[in-house]
Amino acid sequence: MNSGASSTGTRSPPSAPAVSLTPAELLESYKTMVLSRATDERCLTLQRQGRIGFYVPASGQEAAQVGCARALSGDDWIFPAYREIGVALARGVSLERLFDQFIGNSGDLSKGRQMPNHYGFREQRFVTASSPIGTQITQAVGAAIAARRKRDPIVTVTFFGDGATSSNDFHAGLNFAGVYRAPTIFFCQNNQWAISLPREKQTRSATLAEKAHAYGFDGVVVDGTDLEAVYGAVATARARALAGQGPTLIEAQVYRFGPHSTSDDPHRYRTDAEVAHWKETDPVQRLKQRLSAAGQLDEPRDQMLWEAARGEVSRALEAAERRPPVEPASFFDDVFARPTPRLEAERAEFDALVQQGVVKP
Amino acid sequence: MTELTLVQAVNRGLAEAMRRDPNVLVLGEDVGVNGGVFRATDGLLKEFGEERVLDTPLSETGIVGTAIGMALYGLKPVAEIQFLDFIYPAFDQIVSELAKFRYRSGGQYPCPVVIRTPYGGGIKGGLYHSQSTEAYFCHTAGLKVVIPSTPADAKGLLLTAIQDEDPVMFLEPKRIYRSVSGEVPDGDVRVPFGRARLVRDGTDVSIFAYGAMVPVASEAADTLAAEGISAEVIDLRSLVPLDEAAAVASVEKTGRAVIVHEAARFCGFGAELAALLAEKALYSLKAPIARVTGYDTPFPYALEHLYLPNAARVAHAARETVRSG
């Protein structure tokens, strides 16, 4: 079921796996996409209200994210960038944990140390993201080689955008993966804009996927607004990786509907007409139509799903806002497995300043 | 015990760790078939095979990024960067990723990578095969930084590094890879981090050094002894974590401090050590702290013998501190 995917070169196109999503799975995927979109919409408001410090929206990329995650096993490892909320939700990360991270409270697994959207969840094999672009790509290759060494039948999947295809680690990572035939899927969400730089100024290559050919493996372009096409492309790549046939680069073509982040004003570099054009293929609407045509969804039921999603977002937010803040001196923890004498001394110095009232936490 | 050179001790340490733990592997440029350009990994490919000794493409960010992924997944990678001078393509991976993984994940993702890399001058290596830029790494929270100066420490500290739960920068003084040899304990004998090594007891002045500067400091101490000056020589060997107590105690005893390193002086490790001694041992000092270091220039090729600290410069600085107070 990879009708939406096309191989970009002369290499043998991946054979279509005998897999597709069941109607129930399609509906589940749709719910996750709606939840992702509803979270985005709320968080943009929350940032303007000052209730969260920052936000990176993923609107427009939900089918790519959820479709990819759906094609993976729970044992596969995810190396995300910071825009992968749809993947996190599809992996079963709770909205409450996400809001704990957005607020940086005592429920945040990363203890309030990073900006919103830079989260990680070991239980869901979702590695903690960072801000530098592309650094997760080589790491995913290393984890894939390690998994093979341990004879674990899994793949690693790394997420990045069109901008990252210019980064050092993209080229190093693809090259290493090609040389070692690493069971890695390079999942590029080409959302057309790297902050203000359009896709055509990022590279002269006709597609991003074709860059894989230089490294000796398949690159595939897929319509990232089509959940089933993405699912098929990823399922194929995963089967090939597990069969020892090496990595695949998947370019999921999508569009970032919103700003790069809440610090960005896209009106400076792109037109409303362009956004409107891409919104005609809104992935959420597209799957809604697909489900409606199949008799899985109607307007009242859709309204219920949206209300449920928005209610879930509100409950998660309220729970996270009620949770106590992180302990002040906790920023000294986790530098090393055990604190060095120097860190212990600095912590004691900090505690004394608090006790003396010089520092007010 | 076996008599080994420093580079042989590194090799034995790697083999020992790999025999004990199947999760330990090495990767880097020319580390397999060639056994490393300095032969530090000689014989490992034959004994442990291609799955555990990976000849990598020529990309330092690829090497370190891949090693990070391996460590996250539960292996114990020991990455070789062929020269410290070539580590900068991996600087982002080291500083932004490796050093911060445990911290940024709230302890969910430890990342115990060991990065071995030869450093330092004195081998006619010019600008790009000579530098001592340990301070960059000491300045980055989350990295441990160790530098052996003896074969026993090379093996013992390396075994500790590979067992450590945190990332370790293991800097090897290539100038003394083969010029220094000594008895090395057989088996898994580890040298703990955070403990300085007393090389020579003394009462008049403390000379602090590490790596290839330790033999230089010892030579200076011989010269000084002939003049009736008793110099204590301390090999710091573990820069992070630093044995602050040993440094302070030595200066409390001698009242004078000379700090020796190859790296440029400005913001070099000696600046941190001097500040520490000023904070913790000022009232024990009888003379200003002296630093004998590389100069604040790039590393010169033809004139490296004038750039690098030698015994004459160290002895001179020690004499000055004794004369001045």
Strand partners for B54? B27
Residue B177 in contact with partner chain A when CB distance is under 8 A: no
Same domain, B101 and B230: no
pLDDT of residue A13: 44
| Buried-exposed string B253-283: b where 16+ CB fall within 10 A, e elsewhere | bbbbbbbbbbbbeeebbbebbbebbeebbee
Tell me how far apart the alpha carbons of residues B89 and B254 are, in angstroms, rounded to a whole number.
43
* Helix (H) or strand (E) run with residue A144 in it: helix A135-149
Same domain, B22 and B161: yes
C-alpha separations of A160 from A24, A28, A166, A177 in Å: 29, 25, 11, 16
B113, two tokens: 């990578």
Same domain, B132 and B221: no
**Where among B133, B161, B184 does a domain terminate?**
B184
pLDDT of residue B291: 98
How many structural domains are present in chain B? Answer: 2
CATH number at residue B7: 3.40.50.970
Q: Is A117 exposed, middle or buried (0-12, 13-18, 19+ CB in 10 A)?
A: buried
- Shortest CB distance from B59 goes to which of A108, A175, A337? A175
A229, two tokens: 């096409």
Residue B163 in contact with partner chain A when CB distance is under 8 A: no
Contacts of range B298-305, beta carbons closer than 8 Å, 24 or more positions apart = B298/B127, B299/B121, B299/B126, B299/B127, B299/B130, B299/B131, B300/B126, B300/B127, B301/B124, B301/B125, B301/B126, B301/B127, B304/B121, B304/B122, B304/B124, B304/B130
Which residue, among B285, B275, B226, B218, has the nearest Cα to B253 in the 3D structure? B285
Confidence grade of residue B177 (pLDDT, cut at 50, 70, 90):
very high
Residue B90 DSSP label: G
A361, two tokens: 């936490």
Domain membership of residue B190 (yes or no) is no
Same domain, A184 and A253: yes
pLDDT of residue A20: 86
Same domain, A149 and A193: yes
Under 8 Å CB-to-CB from A173, ≥6 apart: which residues?
A134, A137, A138, A140, A141, A158, A184, A186, B62, B65
Strand partners for B257? B206
The catalytic position among B129, B139, B261, B316 is B129
Same domain, A95 and A161: yes
Taking contacts as CB-CB distances below 8 angstroms, the residues of chain B near A168 are: 59, 61, 89, 92
Query: Is pLDDT above 80 for B213?
Result: yes
pLDDT of residue A5: 53
Residue B160 in contact with partner chain A when CB distance is under 8 A: no
A98, two tokens: 């996400």
Q: Is the separation of the CB atoms in B111 and B102 below 8 Å?
A: yes
| E strands, chain B, in order | 2-5, 24-28, 53-55, 76-80, 114-119, 144-146, 168-173, 181-184, 197-200, 205-209, 231-235, 238-240, 257-264, 290-294
Domain membership of residue B189 (yes or no) is no
Count of alpha carbons within 13 Å of B14, Cβ hemisphere only? 31
Q: Going from the first residue of chain A to its last (361 residues), give the mean pLDDT of each consecutive group of 10, the final group possibly shorter.
A: 45 52 95 98 96 97 98 98 98 98 97 97 98 98 98 98 98 98 98 97 98 98 98 98 98 97 96 97 97 96 98 98 96 98 97 96 89
Name residues 106-145 of chain B within 8 A of A (Cβ): 106-110, 141-142, 144
- Asked if A127 lies within 8 A of B97 by C-beta distance, the reply is no
**Where among B184, B214, B242 does a domain terminate?**
B184
Same domain, A43 and A76: yes
Percentage of chain B surpassing pLDDT 90? 99
| Sheet-wide strand order for A218-223 | A5-7, A218-223, A248-253, A184-190, A156-161, A77-79
* Helix (H) or strand (E) run with residue A62 in it: helix A62-70
pLDDT of residue A1: 36
Same domain, A191 and A218: yes
Active site residue A260: yes
d(CA A306, nearest CA chain B) in Å: 32
Same domain, A178 and A223: yes
Active site residue B129: yes
pLDDT of residue A2: 40
Q: What are phi and psi of B27, to 5 degrees?
A: -145, 150
Q: Is the separation of the CB atoms in A67 and A4 below 8 Å?
A: no
Residue B281 DSSP label: H
Same domain, A343 and A268: no
Taking contacts as CB-CB distances below 8 angstroms, the residues of chain A near B74 are: 146, 150
Torsion region of A60: left, alpha or beta (phi above 0 gives left; psi -120 to 50 gives alpha): left
d(CA A209, nearest CA chain B) in Å: 20
Same domain, A339 and A268: no
Residue B68 in contact with partner chain A when CB distance is under 8 A: yes
B302, two tokens: 């033809």
Name residues 232-291 of chain B within 8 A of A (Cβ): 240-242, 244-245
Domain membership of residue B315 (yes or no) is yes
- Render pLDDT for B221-234 as a digit per residue (tens, 0 to 9): 999 999 999 999 99
Same domain, A92 and A176: yes
Same domain, A360 and A284: no
Q: Is the separation of the CB atoms in B71 and B106 below 8 Å?
A: no
Which residue, among B271, B269, B280, has the nearest Cα to B120 in the 3D structure? B269
Q: Report helix, strand or coil for A91.
A: coil
Active site residue A256: yes
- Shortest CB distance from B109 goes to which of A128, A150, A169? A128
Which residue, among B40, B29, B105, B27, has the nearest Cα to B66 in the 3D structure? B27
Same domain, B253 and B167: no
Taking contacts as CB-CB distances below 8 angstroms, the residues of chain A near B166 are: 336-337
Tell me how far apart the alpha carbons of residues A44 and A57 are, in angstroms, rounded to a whole number.
8
C-alpha separations of B265 from A101, B133, B259, B262, B270 in Å: 42, 11, 10, 8, 7
pLDDT of residue A11: 43
pLDDT of residue A3: 42
Taking contacts as CB-CB distances below 8 angstroms, the residues of chain B near A135 are: 65, 92-93, 96-97
Same domain, A357 and A217: no
Query: Is pLDDT above 60 for B10?
Result: yes
The catalytic position among A91, A238, A256, A286 is A256
- Asked if B59 lies within 8 A of A79 by C-beta distance, the reply is no
Give the residue on B whose Cα is nearest the Cα of A112: B106
Mutate one of A82, A135, A171 to test the B interface: name it (highest B CB count within 10 A): A135
What are the DSSP calls for B134-196, one per residue?
HHHHHTSTT-EEE---SHHHHHHHHHHHHH-SS-EEEEEEGGGTTT-EEEE-SSS----TT--
- Asked if B77 lies within 8 A of A135 by C-beta distance, the reply is no
Domain extent at residue B42: 2-184
Same domain, B64 and B23: yes
Q: Is the separation of the CB atoms in A136 and A79 below 8 Å?
A: yes
Same domain, B258 and B169: no
**Total count of residues recorded for chain B:** 325
d(CA B4, nearest CA chain A) in Å: 32
d(CA A341, nearest CA chain B) in Å: 8
- Asked if A142 lies within 8 A of B25 by C-beta distance, the reply is no
Dihedral Cα A26, A29, A31, A33, nearest 10 deg: -130
How many structural domains are present in chain A? Answer: 2
Tell me how far apart the alpha carbons of residues B54 and B45 are, in angstroms, rounded to a whole number.
8
Q: Report helix, strand or coil for A255.
A: coil
**Where among B184, B205, B239 does a domain terminate?**
B184
d(CA B195, nearest CA chain A) in Å: 12
Under 8 Å CB-to-CB from B281, ≥6 apart: which residues?
B248, B251, B252
Q: Report helix, strand or coil for B28.
A: strand
pLDDT of residue A6: 55
Count of pairs with CB atoms under 8 A, one residue in A, one in B: 153
Domain membership of residue B263 (yes or no) is yes
The catalytic position among A11, A48, A267, A269 is A269
Same domain, B116 and B36: yes
Domain extent at residue A101: 5-326
Tell me how far apart the alpha carbons of residues A292 and A299 are, in angstroms, rounded to a whole number.
8
pLDDT of residue A9: 42
- Asked if A336 lies within 8 A of B142 by C-beta distance, the reply is yes
Q: Is A41 exposed, middle or buried (0-12, 13-18, 19+ CB in 10 A)?
A: middle
Same domain, B275 and B180: no
Give the residue on B whose Cα is nearest the Cα of A128: B105
Residue B54 in contact with partner chain A when CB distance is under 8 A: yes
Taking contacts as CB-CB distances below 8 angstroms, the residues of chain B near A156 are: 69
d(CA A168, nearest CA chain B) in Å: 7
Same domain, B35 and B102: yes
Tell me how far apart the alpha carbons of residues B271 and B285 are, in angstroms, rounded to a whole number.
16
B282, two tokens: 């000022």
C-alpha separations of B191 from A194, A345, B113, B243 in Å: 49, 24, 18, 13
Peptide bond into B57 cis (omega under 30): no
| E strands, chain A, in order | 5-7, 77-79, 156-161, 184-190, 193-194, 197-198, 218-223, 248-253
Q: What are phi and psi of A249, to 5 degrees?
A: -100, 125
- Asked if B242 lies within 8 A of A342 by C-beta distance, the reply is yes
Q: Kindly provide the ipTM of the predicted complex, given to two decimals.
A: 0.96
- Render pLDDT for B91-111 as a digit per residue (tens, 0 to 9): 999 999 999 999 999 999 999
pLDDT of residue A21: 93
Same domain, B201 and B260: yes
- Render pLDDT for B31-71 as a digit per residue (tens, 0 to 9): 999 999 999 999 999 999 999 999 999 999 999 999 999 99
Same domain, B155 and B220: no
Tell me how far apart the alpha carbons of residues A146 and B66 are, in angstroms, rounded to a whole number.
9
Same domain, A93 and A194: yes
Same domain, B180 and B211: no
Tell me how far apart the alpha carbons of residues B177 and B38 are, in angstroms, rounded to a whole number.
8
- Shortest CB distance from B105 goes to which of A77, A128, A175? A128
| E strands, B229-308, in order | 231-235, 238-240, 257-264, 290-294
